[in-house]
């Protein structure tokens, strides 16, 4: 009885449980969501500073007092424009003196060349006189023939002497310094005088029957040497006339031209000129004050073209970069500005920065904004 009762109760409990399960609404066991996988291949980022593509520091090559400042800071200038000048009176005087010296040398050369016909005539007469002296010194000829020849030699020698005297008088009229050419004429005149005297003595000896006539052979060598020297001078003068040889003035002209070039360089060094179109980014000159020794006189930059140079691209990041790769650029000072750029160069030489190995990367800024300023901090993101 008791066992049957317990079985009945157990059955009822089981049935109730089953019925309860069938009547209750179905429930689901919650499962955890799969975590979203983030893209770990993020674009490489770096930081750098904005700078102009082209800039230069300008300084005077010599010290001195600034007399003129022709520009203002922030002013745009063209290539070749004068930025400032130093006191240059001494340099201008030196240039004027050099130019005057060149003009004087050229004037002397012109005067000399105008006298070339007379100088050539004198040289020709000198040659003839030397030849006459040589002929007069020859021995062993018929007495009468020798006398006629000797008298002819006297006439030629006197003519040569007269020609040289005429040339010397003409040169005196110009009242210019002829240097070596005057010396040549003096020597030619002395030789002509000697030739005239020798010819006259020859005539006298022949007329008086002097025994010195028979010993004239010793004079032949000297006469031949005189003729050779006179012929050389004549050849040089003819070559100068025909432009086949330079005269003694050419060297002086070259020296004067070199002096002018040096003076022009010295004068140019008293001016600062812009080497390219750009903006005066910094100006440390004032008229009436000396050139500063402790800072740049002028900083010129082309503010129309910008670049960024990074200093934190590590050896881990640099293999992913290449020249021409696109870049997005943002500026700390201009949060609303985002510009496009491109990798211009990647240094092949590493640098050490705060214990890291980094490679400087230059980025060309392809867009612009009038608010950009030299030195602004830029955050760059290299496109993949």
Return the structure tokens found at 47: 């930081």
In terms of phi and psi (left: phi > 0; alpha: psi -120 to 50; beta: otherwise), the region of 72 is beta
Return the structure tokens found at 103: 């003009």
Using the 8-state DSSP alphabet, how is residue 326 labeled? Answer: E
> What are the extents of the domains in the chain?
45-55+303-382, 63-85+269-300, 96-260
How far apart, in whole angstroms, are the C-alpha atoms of residue 97 and residue 181? 25
pTM above 0.75, yes or no: no
Give the SS3 label for residue 336: coil
Please measure the distance between the N-terminal and C-terminal CA atoms of the chain and give it in whole angstroms.
87
Give the SS3 label for residue 372: coil
How far apart, in whole angstroms, are the C-alpha atoms of residue 235 and residue 218? 27
Q: Tell me what pLDDT residue 175 has.
A: 53
Which residues of the chain fall short of a pLDDT of 50?
Answer: 1-42, 140-141, 213-215
Q: Which residue has the tokens 């002497």?
A: 161
**CATH 2.40.50.100 matches 63-85+269-300:** yes
How far apart, in whole angstroms, are the C-alpha atoms of residue 86 and residue 288? 9
Closest listed residue to residue 192, CA positions, set 154, 218, 235, 228:
154
CATH, range 45-55+303-382: 2.40.30.170
Chain centroid to CA 92: how far? 21
How many angstroms separate the Cα of 219 from the Cα of each of 19, 67, 195, 222?
Answer: 168, 74, 11, 5
Spatial neighbors of 51 by CB under 8 A, at least 6 apart, are 306, 307, 308, 309, 374, 375
Q: Determine contact, residues 350/359, Cβ cutoff 8 Å.
A: yes
Residue burial 197-209, b: 16+ Cβ < 10 Å; e: rest: ebbbbbbebbeee
State phi, psi for 150 to the nearest 5 degrees.
-65, -40
Span 56-89, pLDDT tens digits:
999 998 889 999 999 999 999 999 999 999 999 9
Spatial neighbors of 213 by CB under 8 A, at least 6 apart, are 139, 146, 202, 205, 206
- Where are any strands of DSSP class E within 5-71? 45-52, 55-58, 66-69
How far apart, in whole angstroms, are the C-alpha atoms of residue 297 and residue 57? 8
Using the 8-state DSSP alphabet, how is residue 85 labeled? Answer: E
Chain centroid to CA 279: how far? 24
Rounded to the nearest 5 degrees, what angle is found at the Cα of 191, between the Cα atoms of 245 and 105? 35
Rg, Å, the chain Cα set: 52
Q: Determine contact, residues 302/106, Cβ cutoff 8 Å.
A: no
Reported as half-sphere exposure (CB side, CA atoms, 13 A), residue 56 has a value of 10
How far apart, in whole angstroms, are the C-alpha atoms of residue 93 and residue 100? 10
Closest listed residue to residue 123, CA positions, set 174, 173, 192:
192
Span 282-293, pLDDT tens digits:
999 999 999 988
Q: Tell me what pLDDT residue 245 has.
A: 63
CB atoms within 10 A of CB 235: 13
Closest listed residue to residue 299, CA positions, set 79, 74, 123:
74
Helix count and strand count (H, E) for the chain: 7, 15
Q: Tell me what pLDDT residue 113 has.
A: 78
Q: Determine contact, residues 50/365, Cβ cutoff 8 Å.
A: yes
List the beta bridge partners of residue 268. Answer: none
Q: Tell me what pLDDT residue 29 has.
A: 43
């Amino acid at each position: 009885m008791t066992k049957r009762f317990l079985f009945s109760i157990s059955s009822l409990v089981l049935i109730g449980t089953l019925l309860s399960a069938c009547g209750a609404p179905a429930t689901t066991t919650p499962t955890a969501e799969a975590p979203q996988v983030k893209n770990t291949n993020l674009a490489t980022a770096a930081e750098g500073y904005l700078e102009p593509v082209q800039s230069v520091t300008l300084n005077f090559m010599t010290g001195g007092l600034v007399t003129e400042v022709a520009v203002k800071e922030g002013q745009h200038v063209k290539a070749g424009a004068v930025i400032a000048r130093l006191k240059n009176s001494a340099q201008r005087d030196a240039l004027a003196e050099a130019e005057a010296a060149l003009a004087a040398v050229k004037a002397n050369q012109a005067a000399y060349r105008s006298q070339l016909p007379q100088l050539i005539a004198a040289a020709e007469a000198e040659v003839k006189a030397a030849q006459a002296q040589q002929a007069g010194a020859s021995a062993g000829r018929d007495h009468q023939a020798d006398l006629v020849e000797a008298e002819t030699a006297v006439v030629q020698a006197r003519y040569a002497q007269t020609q040289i005297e005429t040339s010397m008088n003409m040169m005196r009229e110009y009242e210019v310094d002829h240097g070596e050419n005057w010396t040549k004429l003096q020597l030619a005149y002395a030789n002509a005088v000697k030739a005239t005297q020798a010819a006259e003595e020859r005539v006298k000896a022949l007329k008086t029957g002097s025994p010195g006539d028979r010993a004239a052979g010793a004079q032949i060598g000297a006469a031949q040497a005189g003729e050779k020297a006179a012929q050389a001078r004549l050849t040089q003068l003819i070559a100068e006339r025909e432009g086949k040889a330079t005269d003694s003035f050419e060297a002086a002209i070259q020296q004067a031209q070199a002096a002018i070039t040096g003076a022009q360089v010295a004068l140019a060094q008293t001016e600062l000129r812009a080497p390219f179109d750009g903006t005066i980014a910094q100006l440390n000159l004032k008229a009436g004050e000396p050139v500063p020794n402790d800072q740049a006189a002028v900083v010129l930059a082309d503010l129309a073209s910008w670049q960024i140079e990074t200093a934190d691209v590590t050896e881990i990041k640099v293999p992913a970069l290449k020249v021409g790769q696109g870049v997005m650029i943002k500026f700390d000072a201009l949060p609303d500005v985002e510009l496009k750029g491109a990798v211009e160069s990647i240094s092949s030489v590493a640098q050490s920065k705060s214990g890291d190995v980094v490679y400087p990367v230059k980025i060309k800024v392809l867009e612009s904004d009038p608010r950009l300023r030299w030195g602004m901090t830029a955050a760059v993101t290299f496109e993949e």
